[in-house]
Amino acid sequence: MKKLKSLWIPLLIAILPMLALTACGGGNNAGSPAPGTGGSPAAGGSPAASGSPAAGGGAPRNIVVTATNFAFDPADIQLHVGDTVQITFQNKDGVHGLAIPDFGVDLRGGQTAKFTADKSGRFDFYCAVQCGTGHDNMTGTINVAP
């Protein structure tokens, strides 16, 4: 018995550091993506300094239009010339569509489109699905400021 115990202790001493090394290796692998992603915001730091990251970076504005029976929310969208918009259309009540002919947008529920407001003015949008008695009232306006 004494000989067995004396064999186990060196074995444990040999195994424990290996377990510790494995744990450390895993930690290093998990950590390595973080410095990579941390590097890119530093490179793109200048738009933040301008105070308007969305405008400076050219990132699309996300707008969600929700339809109910029988209205759009929002029914009035304010943009500036040059804005790139990612517009998502959702049906909350009923089945409707969103058509913005001036910008080539024609969406059904759950769909997303991207367009650039390349001209100033007031542009109507309306429901693109014959949805019932209130269908003709389902209109909205996009106001693009110069």
Residues in contact with Cu ion by the rule CB under 5 A: 96, 127, 129, 131, 135
Separation between Cα atoms, residue 38 and residue 65, nearest integer Å: 34
- Smallest separation (angstroms) from Cu ion to the CB of 58: 34
Beta carbon nearer to Cu ion, 79 or 91: 91
Dihedral Cα 24, 25, 29, 34, nearest 10 deg: 30
Report the nearest approach of Cu ion to the CB of residue 103 (Å).
19
Terminus-to-terminus CA distance in the chain, angstroms? Answer: 91
Structure tokens at 80: 């500036």
CB of 70 closer than 8 Å to CB of 94: yes
DSSP 60: P
Least Å distance, CB 124 to Cu ion, is 14
> Is the CB of 105 or the CB of 127 nearer to Cu ion?
127
Q: Which is nearer to Cu ion, 118 or 124 (CB)?
A: 124
Count of CA atoms in the C-beta half-sphere (13 A) of 124 = 7
Judged by beta carbon, residue 61 or residue 135, the one nearer Cu ion is 135
Shortest distance (Å) from residue 138 CB to Cu ion: 5
